[in-house]
Amino acid sequence: MVREQSRWIPVPWSELPGLNTDAINEAWPAWLQSCQKPGPTWKALCPEIAKLANAPVEQQRRWMRDNLQPFRVESHDQRPSGLLTGYYEPALVGSRQAQGHFKVPLYAPPAQLGQRKPWYTRQEIDTLPAARAALRGKELLYLADPVDAMVLHIQGSGLVNVTEPDGRQRWVRMAYAATNDQPYISIGRWLLDRKLITDASWPGIKAWIDRNPSRVNELLWQNPRVVFFREEALPVGSTPPGPKGAQGVPLTAERSIAVDRRSIPYGTPVWMKSTGPQTSFDRLVLAQDTGTAIVGAVRADYYAGSGPAAGELAGRLKQPLQMWALWPR
């Protein structure tokens, strides 16, 4: 089977590493999310997938073998290996008002965004009166750390424990709404190219910033791309659902991936193998998202979840990858 960015080679189920040991039931909630917006190929099978939600894991595994065909995903020049990276949803603290340490605004899209392409760069937004005027009144909330704001811009969404004007605290989600149409430039790459660091993970970048606080703006301005957000209210007193991926359904921690949709369609169950210095995976995941850097046949971004531990993994994850698409027979 040939796709725009890849070719799929049919293989026996025995080729999938870890097939009999992965707790595939942990991927079923992600699969049910994809069935909320199924493509035409999956529409007929989604009722069966829903019926199996609480079935024993061996029954789920048997159903997959009976109804799906594994395909090894390769590039057009027959390379079966690619790259796995990670992303996550930051969990931060913010304020509805600019006060105390909370002085770094997160903005909703300005009204003039479509009138000027590309829009102002990150440095221009911080320094030009015209850019600041265009954003006046678009402040959604404020963070204390400009580096945290940059992380939020790169990840595309995040959870913020916000203090309301009346003193109440609650979680809200800053969800992706738009960008300034400027290119994304890696601040980690900028530091590496100047031999200022050898570890370009977020922990490595933050360690450099701690040593060089006077150069924070210089560093952040190297990435001209800015994300604008929209606020999503979250249910009080419960674990927030994951952010919505490009498929339009909430992501599931450790069971959702972002892919190049020219290689793998949204909603496709994927068997993933990756072994590296951070962790090893042999597991069932769902293709539910994409990203500007996720390009190629065997390329995926692993959604690690939310919070510091997920951020630590996602920030360091960069290792070889193999993928098998599972497709109805």
CATH classification at residue 215: 2.40.240.50
Give the pLDDT confidence score for residue 54 in this predicted structure.
Answer: 96
Give the pLDDT confidence score for residue 237 in this predicted structure.
Answer: 67
Grouping H, G, I as helix, E, B as strand and the rest as coil, residue 300 is: strand
Give the pLDDT confidence score for residue 195 in this predicted structure.
Answer: 96
Q: Is residue 154 part of a domain?
A: yes
Asked whether 91 and 159 are in contact (CB, 8 A), the reply is: yes
In this structure, the strands spanning 158-163 and 7-10 are unpaired
Burial 155-190 (b: 16+ CB within 10 A, else e): bbbbbbebbeeeeeeebbbbebbbbbebeeeebbeb
Instruction: Kindly state the helix (H) or strand (E) to which residue 120 belongs, with its residue range.
Output: none
Q: Is residue 285 part of a domain?
A: yes
pTM of the model: 0.84
Structure tokens at 181: 């149409």
Is residue 97 located within the same domain as residue 221?
A: yes
Residue 36 sits at φ, ψ, to 5 deg, of: -70, -25
Burial 239-269 (b: 16+ CB within 10 A, else e): ebebbbbbbebbbbbbbbbbbbbebbbbbbb
Give the pLDDT confidence score for residue 201 in this predicted structure.
Answer: 79
Report the alpha-carbon distance of residue 222 to residue 214 in Å, rounded: 15
Give the pLDDT confidence score for residue 319 in this predicted structure.
Answer: 96
Domain end (from 180, 212, 233):
233
Q: Is residue 1 part of a domain?
A: no
Is residue 202 located within the same domain as residue 261?
A: no
Give the pLDDT confidence score for residue 291 in this predicted structure.
Answer: 87
CATH of the domain at 58: 2.40.40.10
How many whole angstroms from its chain centre is CA 102? 26
**Which residues of the chain have a pLDDT value below 50?**
none
Q: Is residue 302 part of a domain?
A: yes
Q: Is residue 144 part of a domain?
A: yes
From residue 246, how far is each of 27, 153, 180, 260, 305 by CA, in Å? 18, 16, 19, 11, 16
Structural domains of the chain, count = 2
Domain assignment of residue 261, given as a range: 7-87+242-328
Q: Is residue 2 part of a domain?
A: no
Determine the straight-line distance between the first and last CA of the chain, rounded to whole angstroms.
Answer: 13
